[in-house]
Amino acid sequence: EPEVTQTPSHQVTQMGQEVILRCVPISNHLYFYWYRQILGQKVEFLVSFYNNEISEKSEIFDDQFSVERPDGSNFTLKIRSTKLEDSAMYFCASSEAEDIQYFGAGTRLSVL
């Protein structure tokens, strides 16, 4: 069964460093998303991406964050200068149309 894959599974970084989280969405999907889940809290929407541009973003997705689809298969989330409060699970999701979203296993980001 096709699935969304995310790498790495765990990323440790120092505060102030840049990180890139990588995702390979399901191959025929056109819509891509990032969510995050701080430990013990709800899954929160960050951003959606379609046709090579951001279609929707939340208040969390400020200038420190950016997304890119650098080639036909990868979708990345970059955090420019990480803060302690960026520590969370980051989930990538994809959908064929703007309805059912399928999630990856997540990347655990630890900012020290």
Q: How far apart are CA 30 and CA 96, in angstroms?
A: 5
Nearer to another protein, 16 or 101 (CB): 101
CA-CA distance, 2 to 10, in Å (whole number)? 22
Residues in contact with another protein by CB under 8 A are 4, 6, 31, 33, 35, 41-45, 48, 50, 55-56, 58, 89, 91, 98-106, 108
CB of 19 to another protein, least distance (A): 19
Of 35, 30, 52, nearest in space to 97 by CA: 30
Q: Report in angstroms how near the CB of residue 48 gets to another protein at its nearest.
A: 4
Residue 18 near residue 78 (C-beta atoms within 8 A): yes
16/25 with CB nearer another protein:
25
Q: Measured from the CB atom, is 27 or 42 closer to another protein? A: 42
Taking the C-alpha atoms of residue 37 and residue 90, their distance in angstroms, rounded to an integer, is 6
